[in-house]
C-alpha cells in the first residue's frame, strides 16, 4: 500500500483513478484472488467493506503484502470505533454509507481521507462543510446521473462519488455528469464469476470499466 501518501494525495489518487472497487463478499478466502484480479485490470483503489468477515485483519494483511500496487481503504464504516480499528489496520481512506460527524473528525485527526455517504442536498452540503474529502452519493442508482448534474449546478465545489447502481455500462454517464470518481461493487465483482473461480472475468470487467472512464473523461475534456 502507498503508506507514504498524505490524506490530500490519497484523495488526488482517487480522483485520478476515477473508480473505487467496492469489495463486499462473504467469501473471505477469495479476497486475495479478487484483489489481484482487479488490480490486473487496472483498478487500484480498493475498498474492503466491514461486512467482509474479518475485514480489519484482512486490511492489515493486504496492507503488509501489497506494497505499492494499490491504495487500500475500508468501507461500510458506521461509527468511530470501527474507523479507529481500520485506520490502525492500515486503511488509507474510510468510506461510510451515512454521514457521522464523529467519523469525519476521527479520520481527520489521524490524517486519513474520509468519504461519508449522503443522498439529499442538505446532507451532502453538511458533510462537505464538516470536511468530507469526497461525498459518496448513495444509493445513486435510485436517482440516476441527472441527479448528479442537478447537484453540481449549485454545488460545483463538492467532489461527488456515486455508489450503488453504478455499472460498467453506465459508468461513463456518471463521469460526464460530474462525478470525480465512481464506486462500483457487484457490476465489477460478479458474484457468479467469484463463485465459479473465474477471476479472469473480474480482470476483464476492471479493464472495461477503466476504458469507459478514460473515454468519458477524454470526451468531456474535448468537448
Stronger pLDDT, 2 or 16, i.e. the higher one? 16
pLDDT at 87: 97
Q: Count the neighbouring beta carbons within 10 Å of the beta carbon of residue 54.
A: 12
Q: Per-residue pLDDT tens for 154-174?
A: 999 999 999 999 999 999 999
- Ordered DSSP codes for 166-181: --TTTHHHHHHHT-S-
Put the strands of the sheet holding 93-95 in their side by side order.
113-115, 93-95, 71-75, 45-49, 19-23, 182-184
The residue-averaged pLDDT of 143-147 equals: 96
Selection from 47, 41, 2, 38 nearest residue 20 by Cα? 47
pLDDT at 68: 85
pLDDT band at 88 (very low <50, low <70, confident <90, very high): very high
pLDDT at 174: 98
- What does residue 199 show for φ and ψ, rounded to 5 degrees? -75, -20
47 is a catalytic site residue: yes
User: What are the boundaries of each domain within the chain?
Assistant: 7-222
pTM above 0.75, yes or no: yes
The residue-averaged pLDDT of 110-115 equals: 98
pLDDT at 212: 97
Task: Note whether 171 and 18 are within 8 A (CB).
Answer: no
Q: Per-residue pLDDT tens for 178-220?
A: 999 999 999 999 999 999 999 999 999 999 999 999 999 999 8
Q: Which of 26, 28, 47, 129 is catalytic?
A: 47
pLDDT at 4: 63
3-state secondary structure of 94: strand
Q: Which of 26, 84, 136, 192 is catalytic?
A: 136
Q: Per-residue pLDDT tens for 3-42?
A: 468 999 999 999 999 999 999 999 889 999 999 999 999 9
CATH architecture of 7-222: Alpha-Beta Barrel (3.20)
Amino acid at each position: 500500500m502507498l503508506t507514504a501518501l498524505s490524506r490530500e494525495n490519497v484523495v488526488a489518487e482517487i480522483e485520478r483513478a476515477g473508480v473505487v472497487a467496492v469489495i463486499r463478499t462473504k467469501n473471505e478466502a477469495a479476497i486475495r484472488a479478487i484483489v489481484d484480479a482487479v488490480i490486473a485490470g487496472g483498478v487500484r483503489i480498493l475498498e474492503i467493506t466491514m461486512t467482509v468477515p474479518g475485514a480489519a485483519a484482512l486490511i492489515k494483511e493486504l496492507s503488509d503484502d501489497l506494497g505499492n500496487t494499490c491504495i487500500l481503504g475500508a468501507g461500510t464504516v458506521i461509527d468511530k470505533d470501527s474507523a479507529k480499528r481500520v485506520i490502525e489496520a492500515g486503511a488509507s481512506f474510510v468510506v461510510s454509507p451515512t454521514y457521522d460527524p464523529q467519523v469525519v473528525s476521527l479520520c481527520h485527526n489521524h490524517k486519513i481521507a474520509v468519504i461519508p455517504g449522503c443522498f439529499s442536498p442538505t446532507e451532502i452540503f453538511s458533510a462537505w462543510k464538516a470536511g468530507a474529502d469526497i461525498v459518496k452519493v448513495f444509493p445513486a442508482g435510485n436517482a440516476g446521473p441527472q441527479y448528479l448534474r442537478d447537484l453540481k449546478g449549485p454545488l460545483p465545489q463538492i467532489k461527488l462519488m456515486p455508489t450503488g447502481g453504478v455499472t460498467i455500462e453506465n459508468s461513463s454517464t456518471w463521469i460526464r455528469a460530474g462525478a470525480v470518481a465512481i464506486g462500483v461493487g457487484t457490476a465489477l465483482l460478479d458474484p457468479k464469476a467469484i463463485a465459479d473461480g473465474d477471476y479472469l472475468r473480474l480482470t476483464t470487467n476492471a479493464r472495461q470499466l477503466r476504458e469507459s472512464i478514460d473515454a468519458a473523461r477524454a470526451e468531456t475534456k474535448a468537448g
